[in-house]
Amino acid sequence: MKKSKYSFEQLNIAKRLLYLTASIIPLSIAVGSLVALFLWIMEIAATVRWTHLWLIFFLPLAGVLITFVYKKYGKNSDANTSFHHTSKNLQTFFTILF
């Protein structure tokens, strides 16, 4: 009986490689489409900004409004986004890292 030129393990590796390649193609198309959409939206935003320069004066009002809405309705989420909590985690991370 003649031995096969390729082992069973090599065929499994080739199948896995083909599967991963076939999986990556739709994912890369989706990510590329989202990036293109983001760039298109950024181009529109830049055009609106340069054609309507008076909008820049409403940015402080928008900041006040966002702060008000966050303080009034986002009280439960304050514990998860506090800077102290984040800085403690980063301090621990960098202590372990270095």
Amino acid at 16: R
Band of residue 11 on the pLDDT scale cut at 50, 70, 90:
confident
Whether 65 contacts 72, CB under 8 Å = no
pTM score? 0.51
pLDDT digits (tens, 9 = 90+) for 65-91: 998 888 888 766 655 555 555 565 666
